[in-house]
Amino acid sequence: YFQLAAEDHEWWWRSFLCGGSTGLFIYGYCLYYYYARSDMSGFMQTSFFFGYMACICYGFFLMLGSVGFRASLLFVRHIYRSIKCE
């Protein structure tokens, strides 16, 4: 709403990135988990863990980003539909 009030009509990128930033948080937690909690060591375990987790977190980024975009789109459509032009 604040972006639309400031006439920033490129709200869709911010809505996608705000929703998708959860995927970045999950990847950050994977870093913590690997170094603090797991007993993994070696090049192959490290590369497989971070490679697979990067793919999974990218999927979360796209999925949650699209959810954030759709929610914002529905909100914007609702706002513009309620405007009375007479």
pLDDT block averages, 10 residues each, the chain of length 86 = 76 90 96 92 94 97 96 90 77
Provide the H-helix boundaries in the chain. 2-5, 11-32, 43-81
Does this model's pTM top 0.85? My answer is no
Report CA 24 to chain centroid distance, whole Å. 7
d(CA 33, CA 50): 11
Q: pLDDT by residue (tens digit) across 40-62?
A: 999 999 999 999 999 999 999 99
The C-alpha angle with vertex 2 and arms to 13 and 78, in degrees rounded to 5, equals 80
Q: Which two tokens stand for residue 74?
A: 């529905």
Give the other-Cβ count within 10 Å of 28's Cβ. 11
User: Residue 30: its pLDDT value, please?
Assistant: 95
Domain boundaries, the chain: 10-84
